[in-house]
Structure 1
Amino acid sequence: MAQIFRKDTMQFKLRQSPIPEFSWHTSEKLSELAKSEHMQFNVRFLDPGKYSYPYHFHRNSEELFVILSGTVTLRIPDEFLILNEGDIVFFKMGPSGAHQLYNHTTEPCKFLDIRTVFGLDVCEYPDSGKINILPYEEIYESSAKVDYYKGEEKVKDKW
């Protein structure tokens, strides 16, 4: 069965973080309305001077943006690129797929955000050294990384 989402009937909510620069408008969770099992998708838009999510990459999810209107700057590893209406950009899993958007213009930029979902995902934020366990949104600092066997020295005492 096909499910059609009409642009004229989409409603958007403002997502404002405690840091004013991180702000975007997002549609209802279209993927939930469609009862999608392996994709999350929303239409989002960035107002002028705003950033999307913090610079990040996914360990178990591919992501795709389709620029529906406007222009935006894309940050990827070692490069900044301008994306325009009609552009499609694909992000691989892992550090090479790190990305962030910034609306450097005076007009809103609307885009479709599509992400694969296969169970748990780990999202990493290179700028701030955080790790996010999705979908639970459990966020940890990666500096707390420990050896696999840390704390296991007294295994015999537990038997």
Structure 2
Amino acid sequence: MTTPPIAARQIPPHTAPSLYPAPFAERVAGRSKHKLGDYFGLTRFGVNLTTLAPGAESALLHHHSQQDEFIYILAGIPTLRYGAAEYLLQPGDCIGFRAGCGLGHQLLNRTGLDATYLEVGDRSPDDAVTYPEDDLAFIAAADGRWQVLHKDGRPY
């Protein structure tokens, strides 16, 4: 099946609840995603048009074992936390996060205006997500679904 071009914002926003368990889910409550890659049936990588409301976080500080990620800022001025450093990003800025580098990353919107960006990630099997500041771990199951665990391996 071929899907014709469409304005990205016409793709319905993702409405499923966050995979983050309580109390972490409330930290990303101000995040809205249009899953562009899923809309077109892409299976090897994902593309999201993501907007952070004022005060919102993109994700908890994290890094991937297998998945590369890339972001491109379209609007707003989010703060990137990357390892121990912070950077103010502006429209036109971009950065890639190489799998296995061990540096946590997240975007924070500390301004009074929305911040919008494209995020691209591959869909690597056997990925594990580490959250250095939180008692949380995500492990990709064989079927592609995420197992959400405490760091000691207990499920949430």
Q: Taking structure 2 as the reference length, what is the TM-score of the superposition?
A: 0.80
Question: Structure 1 residues 95 and 142, CA, compared in 2 at 3 Å: closer, same or farther?
Answer: farther
Q: Is the 8 A contact 1:58 1:94 kept in 2?
A: yes
8 A contact 1:68–1:111 mirrored in 2: yes
1:140 aligns with 2:141: no
Matched, 1:57 2:63: yes
Higher strand share: 1
SS in 1 for 2:27: coil
Give, in whole Å, the separation in 1 of the partners of 2:11 and 2:41: 17
1:138 counterpart SS class: strand
Deviation at 1:37, TM superposition (A): 2.5
Is 1:102 the counterpart of 2:143 in the alignment?
no
1:127 aligns with 2:133: yes
- Whose radius of gyration is greater, 1 or 2? 1
Match of 1:67 among 62, 69, 73: 73
The two structures, once aligned, show a CA RMSD in angstroms of 2.4
Contact 2:11–2:36 at 8 Å: present in 1 too? no
Which string of whole-angstrom CA distances, capped at 9 and with x for unpartnered residues, describes residues 59-78 of structure 1? 11000001111110000101
State which of 58, 72, 92 in structure 1 corresponds to 2:98. Answer: 92
CA distance in 1, matches of 2:108, 2:114: 11
User: 8 Å contact 1:42–1:112 — kept in the other structure?
Assistant: yes
- Is this contact kept in 1: 2:37–2:47, CA < 8 A? yes
Give, as a single letter, the amino acid of the residue that structure 1 aligns with 2:152: S
Check 1:52–1:144 CA distance in 2 against 1; reply closer, same or farther (3 A cut).
Answer: same
Q: Which amino acid aligns with 1:138?
A: Q
Distance 2:150 2:7 in 1: 40
In structure 2, relative to structure 1, the CA distance for the partners of 1:36 and 1:80 (3 Å cut) is same
Contact preservation (8 Å) 1:74, 1:81: yes
How far apart, CA to CA, are the structure 2 residues paired with 1:65 and 1:31? 14
Unaligned runs of 5+ in 2: none
* TM-score, structure 1 normalization: 0.79
Aligned length: 144
Task: Give the drift of 1:50.
Answer: 1.0
**How far apart are the structure 1 equivalents of 2:27 and 2:136?**
19
Q: Structure 1 regions of 5+ residues with no counterpart?
A: 146-159
Q: Report the AA paired with residue 87 of structure 1.
A: D
